[in-house]
């Protein structure tokens, strides 16, 4: 890589980091008013893709012990964001489900983030939005290629849809 390319990469990464920092100042996002730890939020997000997942499998996704997961899920159940059920075929297996309240809080978090993004994008002219679309499409293609090289199974909704 040339010195110019390294400098350009650094400028892009710095600008992106500054943008993330500014997003953290947006107190309209519901994530700042909900009392969840990062691990609890991760569990809720995983449950959107794997609702009814057995506890053992959830520990593998999170990289935590069953005891740690039990504490996380206990708190989510206490908040009303998740439920536990026995497996119909094996009573030793506990399945974790996203409750309607859990789905609602995740929707509120995502919607408030989307509203903030919409406010920023509305400030850009059409030419800039077209450039941004091109850049994001290329970045998405690069991220897909990187994930495939790592052996990640990409969900259908993230498959390539470039035009």
Global pTM exceeds 0.85 = no
Q: Is the pLDDT of residue 162 over 60?
A: no
> In 3-state terms, what secondary structure has residue 90?
coil
How confident is residue 20, by pLDDT bands cut at 50, 70 and 90? confident
| Domain regions of the chain by residue span | 3-123
Q: Which fold has domain 3-123?
A: Arc Repressor Mutant, subunit A (1.10.10)
Distance CA 5, CA 14 (A): 14
What is the tens place of the pLDDT at every residue in 83-97? 999 888 888 889 999
- Range 113-116, long-range pairs (CB < 8 A, 24+ positions): 113/29, 113/31, 115/28, 116/23, 116/26, 116/28, 116/29
The 10s digit of each residue's pLDDT in 93-113 is 899 999 999 999 999 988 988
């Amino acid at each position: 890589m040339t010195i110019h390319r390294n400098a350009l990469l650094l400028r892009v990464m710095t600008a992106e980091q500054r943008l993330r920092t500014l997003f953290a100042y947006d107190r309209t996002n519901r994530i700042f008013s909900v009392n969840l730890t990062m691990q609890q939020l991760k569990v809720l997000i995983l449950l959107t893709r794997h609702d009814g997942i057995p506890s053992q499998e959830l520990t593998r996704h999170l990289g935590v012990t069953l005891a740690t997961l039990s504490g996380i899920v206990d708190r989510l159940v206490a908040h009303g964001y998740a439920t536990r059920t026995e497996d119909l075929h094996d009573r030793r297996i506990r399945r974790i489900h996203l409750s309607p309240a859990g789905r609602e809080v995740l929707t509120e978090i995502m919607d408030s983030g989307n509203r903030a993004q919409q406010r920023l994008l509305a400030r850009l002219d059409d030419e800039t939005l077209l450039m941004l679309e091109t850049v994001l499409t290329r970045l998405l293609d690069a991220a897909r290629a990187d994930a495939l090289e790592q052996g990640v199974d990409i969900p259908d909704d993230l498959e390539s849809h470039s035009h």
